[in-house]
Amino acid sequence: MSPDELKALVRTVPDFPEPGILFRDITTLIGHGQGLAAAVEHLAERAHDAGAQAIAGMEARGFIFGAAVAVRLGLGFVPVRKPGKLPIPTIGVDYALEYGSDRLEIDPSAVGPGQRVAIVDDLIATGGTALAAAQLLRTAGAEVDTALFVIDLPDLGGADRLRGSVITVDALMAFEGL
C-alpha cells in the first residue's frame, strides 16, 4: 500500500481532546492488517537506508511501530519509557510540555557507544517528546540522526525543531492544520 492509501486509513476525530482540534487517530490504521504491515515496511526501508543499528520508540505508540520495524530489520529495540517503569537504575530527562512537564527514561546499557539509533514513533506534533528521546539516547552514547514517523503535523513545527538538532525527519504522511 502506498503512503496515500495508508493516509486514507487514519481516522480524523473533530473536537478532540478539545474544541477546534482535529485528532488523527491511528487506531484504524493499526487495526488494518495490510495497512499496518505496509506502514512498518515503509518505515523499515527508511531506517535501513539511514544505516540504523537499533530502533528506539517512545511509550506507548512508538512501541507498536518501533518494535515492528526492529523485528523487520533484525535489529534491537530500545524502549524509551515513562518514569518508574524499569526495575533497574536508569538515566532520564525531563522535558517541557504545553502545560507542564514529563520525563523519559532508558536503561543506559541498552545502547552502545556510537551505535546509530533511529527513533520511530506514530506522530510528530511539537517535537518535545522526540527531542527528549534523542537527548536521552545521545546521553547514553548513541548516535541519533534519524527520526521516522507515520504522521507529521507540520503546522505544529516539531519536524523543524528536530532538524534544528541535526536530526533528519521523515514521515509517511502529513496532515495540515491543527
Q: Which residue of the set 41, 59, 61, 143 is catalytic?
A: 61
Report the pLDDT value the prediction gives residue 177, as an integer from 0 to 100.
76
Distance CA 81, CA 133 (A): 9
Class of residue 50 by CB neighbours under 10 A (exposed 0-12, middle 13-18, buried 19+)? middle
Parallel, antiparallel or unpaired: strands 11-14 and 100-106: unpaired
Report the pLDDT value the prediction gives residue 95, as an integer from 0 to 100.
92
Q: What are the pLDDT digits (tens) for 72-110?
A: 999 999 999 999 999 999 999 999 876 778 999 999 999
Report the pLDDT value the prediction gives residue 178, as an integer from 0 to 100.
64
Count of the separate structural domains present in the chain: 1
> Contact, 79 vs 57, CB < 8 A?
yes
- Catalytic, 5? Answer no
Report the pLDDT value the prediction gives residue 100, as an integer from 0 to 100.
79
Which cell goes with 139?
Answer: 546521553
Distance CA 65, CA 149 (A): 9
Q: What are the pLDDT digits (tens) for 115-128?
A: 999 999 999 999 99
Report the pLDDT value the prediction gives residue 99, as an integer from 0 to 100.
72
CATH number of 148's domain: 3.40.50.2020
Distance CA 59, CA 92 (A): 14
| Closest among 173, 175, 119 to 2, alpha carbons compared | 173
Class of residue 129 by CB neighbours under 10 A (exposed 0-12, middle 13-18, buried 19+)? buried
- Catalytic, 143? Answer no
Which cell goes with 2?
Answer: 502506498
Which domain covers residue 115, as residue numbers? Answer: 3-174
Across 122-149, average pLDDT: 97
Q: What are the pLDDT digits (tens) for 10-68?
A: 999 999 988 988 999 999 999 999 999 999 999 999 999 999 999 999 999 999 999 99
